[in-house]
Amino acid sequence: MTTSTLINRRIVLASRPVGAPSPDDFRFEDGPVSEPSDGELLLQILYLSLDPYMRGRMSDARSYAKPVAIGDVMEGGTVARVIRSRHPGYREGDIVLSHSGWQSFALSDGTGLRKLDAQAAPVSTALGVLGMPGFTAYAGLLTIGQPKPGETVVVAAASGAVGSVVGQIARIKGARAVGIAGGADKCAFVRDELGFDAVADHRAADFAAQLAAACPEGIDIYFENVGGHVWDAVFPLLNDFARIPVCGLIAQYNAGPDAYPGPDRLPSMMRGVLSRSLLIRGFIQREFVDQRPAFYREAAEWIASGRLRYKEDFVDGLDRAPEAFIGLLEGRNFGKLVVRVAPE
């Protein structure tokens, strides 16, 4: 395989969506693959992670990260194979975690790469349970949530990449884990495969009653990764001194500016914050970067001992990334969503 025969397919942001993204907001571009210069390496992308935060990068609303520019490659975490190296730290065949985005090849100068050991764990897990989503769960739950034995921890999207880890770590720490998921299959998985103590189906008409029944002693930690109507069922159940780490609001990412006519729930929310001494804290996992070594070590142990389970939802082919991402925002994935870009 010589570089000159390779074609790099890139998926670029064609337009900023208003409301739900559509396939037209993405554009496919094919181009040449460059030879690495001295100090560079050429990566072939094997796996692309699809995550809810990417919806934020498609928008130019104020956020913690710059938006993707129109015409630029969509941002994203990737697992890649080194296929050419002129960098002393990497050899051809090395597998690395990179942030190469929605494309099939990428040049790198080595910045931000992390070598992966394919013997230790499937390398795709570096995008999920052993990667950014798993670490988001770990850092947010332990640092902000601070679960104590016997407390009740509630998390939504409980079959997903973050929620599944939140609940299982809560249990490891001696807390009760209550999951919220959409539909019978996901609920059964959360309860029976992941071992949550209880589960509530947010698509059910009696969702709020299910959640209340699942939390007879109220909620001490609500790990907020969805927003939307789940909040209305959670809020009345929050105990005094409850903690609410906020890492995502997927249910409202697609909402337009007029999506919330009323009533205005902010005053009653602030009233609850005051009368119940609630803590609400937004966070991005990179704030807690110094905890990553502990996370990698502990999570690997928990996986090895069977205490931390995970589910990956693979989609085959880069071309299907837009459709899969649109589905992710609608909750159509089941487990950590990963695009297989090339065979491992």
Which residue ranges make up the site for a copy of itself (CB under 8 A)?
Answer: 56, 61-64, 224, 227, 231, 240, 246-249, 252, 255, 258-284, 287
Give the residue with the Cβ less far from a copy of itself, 36 or 145.
Answer: 145
Pick between residue 14 and residue 255 the one whose CB is nearest to a copy of itself: 255
CB of 65 to a copy of itself, least distance (A): 9
Q: Which is nearer to a copy of itself, 267 or 293 (CB)?
A: 267
CB of 277 to a copy of itself, least distance (A): 5
Kindly tell me which of 1 and 61 has the beta carbon lying closer to a copy of itself.
61
CB of 132 to a copy of itself, least distance (A): 15
CB of 107 to a copy of itself, least distance (A): 31
Residues 6 or more apart whose Cβ sits within 8 Å of residue 235: 269, 272
Nearer to a copy of itself, 224 or 312 (CB): 224
Q: Which is nearer to a copy of itself, 178 or 250 (CB)?
A: 250
| Nearer residue to a copy of itself within complex by CB, 192 or 240 | 240
- Output the smallest distance, CB 302 to a copy of itself, in A: 27
Look-up: residue for tokens 């103590």?
197
CA atoms of 252 and 268, how far apart (whole Å): 20
| Nearest distance in Å: CB 227, a copy of itself | 6
**Least distance from a copy of itself to the Cβ atom of residue 236, Å:** 9
* Shortest Cβ 243–a copy of itself spacing (Å): 9
SS3 letters across the chain: CCHHHCEEEEEEECCCCCCCCCHHHEEEEEEECCCCCCCCEEEEEEEEECCCHHHHHCCCCCCCCCCCCCCCECCCCEEEEEEEECCCCCCCCCEEEECCCCECEEEECCCCCEECCCCCCCHHHHHCCCCHHHHHHHHHHHHHHCCCCCCEEEECCCCCCCHHHHHHHHHHCCCEEEEEECCHHHHHHHHHHCCCCEEEECCCCCHHHHHHHHCCCCEEEEEECCCCCHHHHHHHHEEEEEEEEECCCHHHCCCCCCCCCCCCCHHHHHHHHHHCCCEEEECCHHHHHHHHHHHHHHHHHHHHCCCCCCCEEEEECHHHHHHHHHHHHCCCCCCEEEEECCCC
Give strand pairing partners of 103.
10
Identify which of residues 203 and 229 has a Cβ nearer to a copy of itself in the complex.
Answer: 229
Q: Which residue has the tokens 């939390």?
A: 215
Tokens encoding 53: 């935060």
